[in-house]
Amino acid sequence: MFQNRLAFLADIFFHFNELNCNLQGVGANILELRDKIAAFIAKLKLWKTKIQSGQRVAVFPMMNKMNETNGIISIVQSEAVDHFNSLIEEFHR
């Protein structure tokens, strides 16, 4: 179970790092940055829906690999959904 949680966190932090890199740079304006954040929120909602329904999410390769070997654990699945809900709330705040 720990490995499944760790795989989820590794995948989600990869996407946070990607967002962080996209938000940096010279010449970026607030409208472009807002659009990038809005797109990331939309991705979070999509990922949450897919994980909630038990589907594989291609952008989470480590989690998928762990689920293939261990099977998806409903506790980790519900924790991931809760985590997505919290992230979406924080981004809106």
- pLDDT by residue (tens digit) across 75-91? 678 888 899 999 999 99
Res. 40 pLDDT band, cuts 50 70 90: very high
Phi-psi region of 73 (alpha: psi -120 to 50; beta: other; left: phi over 0): beta
SS3 66: helix
Residues 6+ apart with CB under 8 A from 77: 51, 52, 54
Contact between residue 59 and residue 15 where contact means Cβ atoms under 8 Å apart: yes
**φ, ψ (nearest 5 deg) of residue 36:** -65, -40
The Cβ of residue 89 has, within 10 Å, a number of other Cβ atoms equal to 9
Could you tell me the residue ranges of all domains in the chain? 2-92
Task: Write down the pLDDT at residue 58.
Answer: 79
Is this prediction's pTM over 0.95?
no
